[in-house]
């Protein structure tokens, strides 16, 4: 098993290229199941989760080829051999449930194992299932699988009222609705850029969608979808993560491909903390305005609010801020598992339920720490960049699910970081 060793090494300087969005690509890939014509994705991130989704699609009989060093995915579902997504693959990643809607819409039946993924809360799939039931699906949960059937005439349009804005459920319902007969209205739909990206891809395939990016999406079902070529949107979570590197260490870093509109609430908090974010022709340039970072209060919210996937990284920044910050996690329960590891590095953090109070210290100290999930793992790396001495991060396999070439990218701006085999 690998470890990452980080040594505090002063300010950073240079450029970091930002990859295509993991969460967008994992949603776009199952869209190939809706058509018998080719779907090609460019700007794809090179991550273990993408490889897992590739294996899942291939297990169904889809053709998936990674071209141009993995940044282009050429897919075709013209000759599927199965509509059953097996546990052995699905258990590795929650996004696997996104094959359910497309399979059901196109073939009228599907069997999908209940998914696995990061241990950051229950994240149930009931909203996915209720949305499909609103389109006429007949569902039976048994033996750890969702057994889904469409009525004899296929899925039909329906009204879906989400009790809260679920990204995954919105994506599954949106894909299924493209081939449902009639009009489907998704109310209280998620508004994330990944939803907009999916809608744009589906529209290129011939779908009729209105309102993506708002809380109400209307879909007019069509008889069939065709092929398309689509560029995956920039990964706003990787973008935010690397924007925090110069905020923590000092210096100035340009994040290539970055856009403020992807992270407006996050950028507002950086400004409040004393971090400058400047748009350039190539992306976003980030630097401290002057001196020590100031304390800020953060509440995670659905888009366009502060992203839950940047909460752990923001906590790493606030560990050395001047004053006391309060972080409130409203999206997932049990998402402060990185706090005890940051405390091992000298942070002053008090967690009560969904609230963490962080009192800044002058400087953290390197220590052996353990990653508990994807975003927690990178928060420990960020903390290590500015800590005194050496930080050894174990269980970094989590990192490979969401960040490509993290060591290379941080080395490129002057960080002292290496990946080694655990002794």
More confident residue, 32 or 373: 32
CA dihedral (175, 178, 180, 181) in degrees, to 10, reads: 170
Tell whether the model's pLDDT for residue 149 goes beyond 50: yes
What's the whole-number mean pLDDT along residues 137-145? 91
What's the whole-number mean pLDDT along residues 153-162? 97
Question: The pTM is what?
Answer: 0.91
Q: Cα dihedral sign for 317, 319, 322, 326? A: positive
- Look up residue 191 and give its two tokens: 């508004």
Note the pLDDT of residue 422: 81
Confidence grade of residue 104 (pLDDT, cut at 50, 70, 90): very high
Note the pLDDT of residue 124: 67
Residue 177 in 3-state DSSP? helix
Same CATH topology for 2-19+234-421 and 22-231?
yes
Confidence grade of residue 120 (pLDDT, cut at 50, 70, 90): very low
Note the pLDDT of residue 117: 44
Confidence grade of residue 123 (pLDDT, cut at 50, 70, 90): very low
More confident residue, 216 or 89: 216
What's the whole-number mean pLDDT along residues 103-108? 98
Provide the 10 A C-beta neighbour count for residue 27. Answer: 27
Q: What CATH code would you report for 2-19+234-421?
A: 3.65.10.10
Task: Give the CA count within 13 Å in the CB-facing half-sphere of 401.
Answer: 21
- Look up residue 44 and give its two tokens: 């794809």
Tell whether the model's pLDDT for residue 71 goes beyond 70: yes
What's the whole-number mean pLDDT along residues 226-231? 98
What's the whole-number mean pLDDT along residues 379-401? 93
Which residues are catalytic, by number? Answer: 118
What's the whole-number mean pLDDT along residues 280-305? 95
Give the domain ranges of the chain: 2-19+234-421, 22-231
What's the whole-number mean pLDDT along residues 184-188? 98
d(CA 93, CA 103): 18
Annotated binding residues for UDP-N-acetyl-alpha-D-glucosamine? 94, 123-127, 309, 331
Note the pLDDT of residue 374: 81
Residues 60, 85 contacting (CB under 8 angstroms): yes
- Give the model confidence (pLDDT) of 327-358 as tens digits: 999 987 778 999 999 999 999 999 999 999 99
Tell whether the model's pLDDT for residue 247 goes beyond 70: yes
- Alpha helical stretches, state H, 67-141: 87-90, 100-107, 126-133
> b/e per residue, 376-415, with b = 16+ CB within 10 A?
bbbbbbbbbbbbeeebbbbbbebbbbbbbebbebbebbbb
Note the pLDDT of residue 67: 97
What's the whole-number mean pLDDT along residues 19-25? 96
At the top level of CATH, the class of 22-231 is: alpha beta
Within 8 A by CB and 6+ apart from 330, the residues are: 299, 300, 301, 308, 354
Annotated binding residues for phosphoenolpyruvate? 22-23
As a whole number, the mean pLDDT across the chain is 94
Residues 190, 302 contacting (CB under 8 angstroms): yes
What's the whole-number mean pLDDT along residues 399-404? 87
Tell whether the model's pLDDT for residue 187 goes beyond 50: yes
């Amino acid at each position: 098993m690998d470890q990452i060793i980080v040594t505090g090494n002063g300010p950073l300087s240079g450029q970091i290229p930002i990859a295509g969005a993991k969460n967008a690509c994992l949603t776009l890939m199952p869209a190939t199941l809706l058509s018998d014509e080719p779907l090609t994705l460019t700007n794809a991130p090179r991550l273990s989760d993408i490889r897992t989704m590739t294996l899942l699609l291939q297990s169904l009989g889809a053709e998936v080829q990674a071209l141009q060093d993995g940044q282009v995915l050429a897919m075709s579902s013209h000759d599927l051999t199965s509509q059953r997504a097996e546990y052995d693959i699905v258990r590795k990643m929650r996004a696997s449930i996104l094959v359910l809607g497309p399979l059901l819409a196109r073939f009228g039946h599907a069997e999908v194992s209940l998914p696995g993924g990061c241990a950051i809360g229950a994240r149930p799939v009931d909203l996915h299932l209720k949305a499909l039931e609103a389109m006429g699906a007949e569902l039976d949960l048994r033996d750890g699988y969702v057994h889904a059937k469409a009525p004899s005439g296929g899925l039909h349009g329906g009204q879906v009222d989400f009790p809260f804005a679920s990204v995954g459920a919105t994506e599954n319902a949106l894909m299924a609705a493209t081939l449902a007969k009639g009009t489907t209205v998704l109310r209280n739909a998620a508004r994330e850029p990944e939803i907009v990206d999916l809608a744009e891809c589906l529209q290129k395939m011939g779908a009729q969608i209105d309102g993506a990016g708002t809380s109400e999406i209307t879909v007019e079902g069509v008889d069939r979808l065709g092929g398309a070529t689509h560029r995956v949107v920039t990964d706003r979570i990787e973008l935010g993560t690397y924007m925090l590197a110069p905020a923590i260490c000092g210096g100035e870093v340009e994040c290539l491909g970055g856009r403020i509109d992807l992270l407006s609430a996050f950028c507002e908090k950086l400004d409040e903390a004393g971090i400058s974010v400047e748009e350039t022709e190539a992306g976003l340039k980030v630097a401290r305005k002057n001196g020590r970072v100031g304390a800020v209060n953060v509440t995670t919210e659905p888009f366009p609010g502060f992203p839950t996937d940047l909460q752990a990284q923001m906590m790493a920044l606030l560990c050395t801020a001047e004053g006391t910050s309060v972080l409130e996690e409203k999206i997932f329960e049990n998402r402060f598992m990185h706090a005890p590891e940051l405390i091992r590095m000298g942070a002053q953090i008090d967690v009560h339920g969904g609230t963490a109070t962080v009192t800044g210290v002058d400087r953290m100290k390197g220590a052996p720490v353990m990653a508990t999930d994807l975003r927690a793992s990178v928060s420990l790396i960020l903390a290590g960049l500015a800590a005194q001495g050496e930080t050894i991060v174990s269980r970094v396999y989590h990192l490979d699910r969401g960040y490509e070439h993290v060591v290379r990218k941080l080395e490129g701006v002057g960080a002292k970081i290496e990946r080694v085999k655990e002794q």
